[in-house]
Amino acid sequence: MKAKILAHLQQADTPASGERLSKRLGVSRVAVWKHMRQLQEVGYLIETTPKGYRLVRAPDAPFPWVMGDRGPLVHYHLELPSTMDAAMTLARKGCPAFTTVVAERQTKGRGRLQRRWQSTPGGLYFTMVLRPRIALAEAPLVNLAAAVDLADTLHDLYAVDVQLKWPNDLLVEGRKLSGILSQMAAEPDRIDFINLGIGINVHNDTRGVKPSAVAVAVLTDRSVSRARILEGFWERLALRLAGDRLDGVVDQWKPRAVTLGRMVTVQTLTDKVSGRALDVAPDGALVVETETGRHVKVLYGDCFHGDSNTKATRLPASR
């Protein structure tokens, strides 16, 4: 109903009266008034005049009613402890694939290895519940696929050239633009669900942030919409998973890689591997050549790029 009301307001050249809206939409004037109040409460600037309602400005937010047919799968919140935790509850209750939890703010968001995931105003923070029909061994490829699809989305919408850092970061000239985190529940023979958590700097004020970060809005002269970013990424990833097309994702990921050829230190939950990043294996693992010439494959970990002297340098933290 909110989508229908907004469509009428956007198309109207003159204020739309509550009576006219109620007749066109088949609801009472009280129902129209209630929806107007709710829209105003979440940031829509709607003027109430003697002649009716007039939409002055709409907020840039991925509300369910602006997401078209995907709207019923969107759970929008002004604030949550963590979109990942909320999505985990929904996933365990059997929610449909691509159920998406979005929050304007997270008070307990987290990144890799349980680091705090900052959620400053203006970013896009969401967790998407995936139920891919893939082998358990292919699960690490989902993060790489998400990075590729998000990079393609940002390039197509806003001409932003993104580079990829193994295993989960999107960078622009070394500055953090986005981070990806996934959590999985699986049986020995199948994946139950993969929760894909993503944070993107969109309208964030990243000036003064250390280590450096950057937002989409400062990288383009186009009008930036968080809803369009979510919708575009959703469409790409859904198309990829519908065709079970993960076999070529490593080849798609490598041309944008800033990790390969660099000296790196990869911290896992139990170990640390240092050396030169040689390649990404077909299963998504990073292949590292140590000082002794040994090749080590790392499937999961936090990767730090180093300088020519192999001293690790911390890249931007998840936002």
One-letter amino acid at 33 equals W
The answer to whether 175 touches 212, Cβ cutoff 8 Å, is yes
- From the list 250, 269, 234, 239, the residue with the least C-alpha distance to 138 is 250
Q: Which two tokens stand for residue 264?
A: 């790196």
Q: How far apart are CA 306 and CA 57, in angstroms?
A: 46
User: How crowded is the C-beta side of 195, counted as CA atoms within 13 Å?
Assistant: 22
The answer to whether 53 touches 36, Cβ cutoff 8 Å, is yes
Q: Which two tokens stand for residue 125?
A: 């923070």
Distance from first CA to last CA of the chain, Å, rounded? Answer: 34
Contacts of residue 11, defined as CB under 8 A and 6 or more positions apart, other chains included, come to: none
Is 37 known as a binding-site position? no
Q: How far apart are CA 230 and CA 225, in angstroms?
A: 9
Question: What phi-psi label fits residue 238: left (phi over 0), alpha (psi between -120 and 50 degrees) or beta?
Answer: alpha
One-letter amino acid at 17 equals S
Is 38 known as a binding-site position? no
Is 24 known as a binding-site position? no
User: Annotated binding site for biotin, which residues?
Assistant: 106, 110-112, 176
User: Annotated binding site, which residues?
Assistant: 106, 110-112, 176
